[in-house]
Chain A
């Protein structure tokens, strides 16, 4: 798994590439913690190139949702069908602190709403 951290409209954006499992989740956890340290209202994870995730990675997502719920949300960008199915199974997709976006533009619009 490879990670790259940047920003989209002043919101932390973490690009996840490859497989996010029990062996690599620690690195994602560190990146998310780093992003949360600036107290953002939202965090975006670009998962378009994330080919695999299991409870190792999902636990990091759940932790971030818990921290952001109320003030904002954790957004996931363009997950593939298999990854999206897992996020549904664990109940993330119906969580008020979680969003899925198919397009970066949708994410930008949602970020604008958050700023108002």
Chain B
């Protein structure tokens, strides 16, 4: 657990950020969901929205685990608290992949992760980082 303690931070926008860092491996996904749960309920989301967030963040992280190619490089999560929006940012240091062009064991379900993220979140952004990794942001809007 030494590398999994959430730490607080703040942004130039004035939002508060909680960081969470784990090894990029599928076995860590449950731990990541506990973090998402804590953050979601603290933000005031209901059980259904928290479930949506858990799925969306898990899908993004599962992709990141694939990008890491078994190297177990660190997977960085950041939960941004804004007045009307909760944003999860997931960054990996693996090689950027076009999200559609990948999939795991279930060979007949290519690219199910991204459509699920889009269906469950209010906004999804994916970009290539300067270092060649992938940065995904998942947003839930409230009170609009």
Identify the A interface with B (CB < 8 A).
Answer: 19, 21-23, 25-26, 29, 52, 54-56, 58-60, 62-63, 66, 81-82, 85-86, 89-90
Instruction: State which of B109, B113, B115 has its C-beta within 8 Å of the C-beta of A63.
Output: B109
CB–CB A19/B109 < 8 A: no
The complex places the Cα of A57 from the Cα of B58 at a distance, in Å, of 12
| Interface range for B | 20 to 34
CB–CB B104/A59 < 8 A: yes
Chain B residues touching A, majority SS:
helix
The complex places the Cα of A90 from the Cα of B118 at a distance, in Å, of 12
In this complex, the member of A22, A25, A81, A82 whose beta carbon has the largest number of chain B beta carbons within 10 angstroms is A22
CB–CB B105/A26 < 8 A: yes
> Shortest Cβ distance from A42 into chain B, in angstroms?
19
The complex places the Cα of A60 from the Cα of B105 at a distance, in Å, of 9
Instruction: State which of B62, B119, B120 has its C-beta within 8 Å of the C-beta of A56.
Output: B62
> Shortest Cβ distance from A45 into chain B, in angstroms?
15
* Interchain pairs with CB closer than 8 A, number: 73
CB–CB B106/A23 < 8 A: no
Closest A residue by C-beta to B28: A23
The complex places the Cα of A60 from the Cα of B119 at a distance, in Å, of 20
Binds A, one of B7-15, B47-55, B67-75, B83-91: B47-55
CB–CB B116/A54 < 8 A: yes
Contacts of A89 in B (CB 8 A): 116, 119-120
CB–CB B55/A54 < 8 A: yes
The complex places the Cα of A52 from the Cα of B112 at a distance, in Å, of 16
